[in-house]
Structure 1
């Protein structure tokens, strides 16, 4: 907020000198109005020693009736509530000051707040509400801003679909959420349009809102018999097609679940191998309700070990609903040519608690980062059983970065002098993030209870990274390890 206050103070200085409001502020940006209000008023309350120069050189007159728009904007933000109240009375002469009236609707002073609310109620129509919506929604989150939100909602409920469309594409997600809620409440958008928005909008709240509304609208049409009149297949296709092809897993899962209601449960089968666990779970539910067995579907595909088109989701899906006996189908997939399949096979074996350390250990050298990452996670419970020298070799800077990261993760989990040795060695690694991780590992290192006390190597390693400790902490670490004076 400090940057906003300072920017608002600079804007106030220009306005005090007579600069036009339009040239001083981006009047379409609600943040600039809020910054002006903060810069004029809050600095006087919380930092009076920094009272801006314009208050001394260009003070506001006692009579506000002759003020121009720029100076009246300052009066609307003044720290004195009586001045703000009088400025509100005069603000009706300048419609461009309506954003500051919106801000005063959440004013702490009751007379100021109530007067501002009356003025906004009289001035607000659909056109001005569309322009002021971003600011009203921001002010509405304040403790006394509920009245402005209520006024905005009641005004925009009279708007048509074409008028609200301006807010549907607003960059502010809060504005889009508000607009789509109004559209859903007023049934302004057809189910197909809601489904398209759910598939394309980047905000998860809008996605869920529109997907739910689209499916509910289809259910209502089916209950009234309208779908049968227009063609059940065509109506559902216009809604389900965008949902099922959406990038967002929550939206896809809503479409998959709706397949059962649409009488198309058999189409859920192709989502059993989806990349999202949520979508796979919904697909399994629909398939089971249809009377089929998703486990058999997964087993059939995982048996085709050489199939280059085997979806990785089918591999992890088998682990999600199969048994430990299905590990025999996943083990051969550790050598599959597709990276995603190998990675999901490792994750699947871990989910079935069938990870074999000797089979997984070679995958720490895999060319794919995703495979090495899953392998490192699976080997963490066996970190102390792995050969320390073998792991240290893989932290050499000649190895690929993902291999160094996986090996260090296991070494760090081992603890003791081996972890310290690896971390100190990586302090000069070419990768910035790995160096930072190694430094953090050194700083939180403590001798393990079963380690040998008085090991001179510990003292040497700690001295090599003394720049990471204060003198006191370094002496403390050495004392814990039984080295040094």
Structure 2
């Protein structure tokens, strides 16, 4: 497998020396063909290696007959800088099916005669089997200018494919290929609702998820859809790991006449799913998601309280609901505590005194949410208290949360904290501290601390050029 341009130029040189094509690159990898195409034009074999290709020096006339060339050298001719050589190589490529990938690339060639010759050959050569094999390359070339021809031709060929033939592309590692294949399958109605739902639940690409889930629900909307069809589709959608597919399943509950089944999804871990569930519940007569959330959050000691119900209350409640969230800051479950902090932030009911102790929470998620909630109030927190928590004896997540607030605070305190972390054993924290020092500029509170600022900047001098360091010290009122 070729990994970069240097590999492409090395492959071009090996082909010029007579190496077989299949031992030089992975002929099933579209990236290898594209790197070879670019590498041939980058490598200087036709300039400084005349012993390999003497007839293709820039000053030499065109080769009189390319039929004498073997597959390896014809591959080089298809990628040559001279458009006349590329055009003639395309004409001779019909006798070498293994070079069809390079013909695909030439279909988007900048030179019109080369492009037209390649397109004519591809029209004649592209069959069902070759289309399936070349689909990844054709779709990658299709992103280029003048690349639409190959994609259109591929679509015309694959629209004649059976479900079994097209299924080979459903598991392709390239998500662009999977998207293309599923669009053709949906367009041709090659997949039933259950198969579409299964694909939406299985695939990791959000475009495929949306496409297949929507198509599955659309198919259920047909007049012939029955209760049994919903039983085959909705459980697959509702149990999917990805939230897009679950949200489609929740929406489908309304279409299936089962809005009451959406209630458990009001506390889903995904905000998208929760929003869809609230929409469906509101369609019920008397459905009130806010009341449902308030009922769940009214027992602060409930060990079974789902974290999604906590943040869900904030998403659809009002500021008065902060009274239900505050007791949850002491809940035994870390995820509930974290969602309670996030909920107070959403409701704009952050109490600095109440949240400050949570910066010492043993759960990293709770500290992270607390730091985010306290960022607007960073200047109200005791600087020495925060600085103490950047010490190496504290857990990493506590140190990160404290430094995040100090960095947002700015001034001499932020510089003091950042310089103190420049030798920290944690690589990420050390890097973050260095960036903080580099973007630091003095604020009004530096007045009276000029000597300390100068000393801190000197300690971090390796992060600046001499000019920038002098300027920072001048800005801080330090005599240079």
| Structure 1 and Structure 2 fold alike (TM over 0.5) | yes
- Corresponding residue for 1:154? 156
Cα displacement (A) at 1:453: 4.5
For residue 169 of structure 1, what is the aligned residue in structure 2? 171
Alignment equivalent of 2:271, drawn from 277, 290, 299: 277
Q: Does residue 407 of structure 1 match 2:402?
A: yes
Match 2:68 to one of 63, 66, 78: 66
Instruction: Single out whichever of 138-147 and 331-340 deviates more from structure 2.
Output: 138-147
Please list, as runs of the form range in 1=range in 2, the aligned pairs for 1:289-368 lying within 5 A after superposition.
Answer: 289-291=283-285, 292-368=287-363
**For each residue in 1:377-427, what CA deviation from the matched residue of structure 2 results, as whole angstroms up to 9, or x when unmatched?**
111222111111111111111000111111111111221111111111111
Give deviations 1:193-226, integer Å, cap 9, x for gaps: 1101101101111111111111111112xx2xx2
Query: Which residue number in structure 2 is paired with residue 419 of structure 1?
Result: 414
Among candidates 235, 250, 254, match of residue 248 of structure 2: 254
Say whether the 8 Å CA contact 1:13–1:54 is kept in structure 2.
no
- Once the two structures are TM-superposed, the CA of residue 54 in structure 1 deviates from its matched residue by 4.4
Is the contact made by 2:197 and 2:237 (CA closer than 8 Å) also made in structure 1? yes
**Aligned partners of 1:282, 1:365: CA distance in 2, in Å?**
35
In structure 1, the residue corresponding to 2:64 is in which secondary structure?
Answer: coil
How well do the aligned residues superpose, as a CA RMSD in angstroms? 1.7
> Which residue of structure 2 lines up, in the alignment, with residue 265 of structure 1?
259
Partner of residue 227 from structure 1, selected from 225, 248, 256: 225
- TM-score normalised by structure 1 residue count: 0.94
CA pair 4-59 structure 1, distance change in 2 beyond 3 A: farther
Give the 3 Å change call, closer, same or farther, for CA 4–369 of structure 1 in structure 2.
closer
Q: 1-side partners of 2:184 and 2:318: how far apart?
A: 48
Determine the C-alpha separation between the residues in 2 that align with 1:71 and 1:33: 14
Counterpart for residue 10 of structure 2: 10
- Within the alignment, does 1:287 sit opposite 2:289 as a pair? no
* Superposed counterparts of 1:187-206, under 5 Å: 187-206=189-208
Residues 467 and 332 (structure 1 numbering): CA distance in 2 closer, same or farther, change over 3 Å? same
Q: Which consecutive unaligned segments of at least 5 residues does structure 1 have? A: none
Q: How far is 1:6 from its partner?
A: 2.9
Q: Does the 8 Å contact 1:454/1:483 carry over to 2?
A: no
- Aligned CA distance change for structure 1 residues 410 and 289 (closer, same or farther; 3 Å): same
Give the conservation status (yes or no) of the 8 Å contact 2:17–2:52.
no
SS in 2 for 1:272: helix
CA shift at 1:329, angstroms? 0.8
Kindly state the Cα deviation for residue 133 of structure 1 after the two structures are TM-superposed: 0.8
Q: Check conservation: 1:453, 1:482, Cα contact below 8 A.
A: no
Displacement of 1:259 = 0.7
Aligned equivalents of 2:50, 2:277: Cα separation in 1: 67
Per the TM alignment, residue 7 of structure 1 is displaced from its structure 2 partner at its CA by: 2.1
Partner Cα separation in structure 2 for residue 152 and residue 414 of structure 1: 57
Asked whether the equivalents of residues 219 and 225 of structure 2 are also in contact (C-alpha less than 8 Å), the reply is no
TM-score, with normalisation over the residues of structure 2? 0.95
Question: Which shifted more, 402-411 or 460-469?
Answer: 460-469
Q: How many residues align?
A: 471
Contact in 1 for aligned 2:422/2:433 (Cα 8 Å)? yes
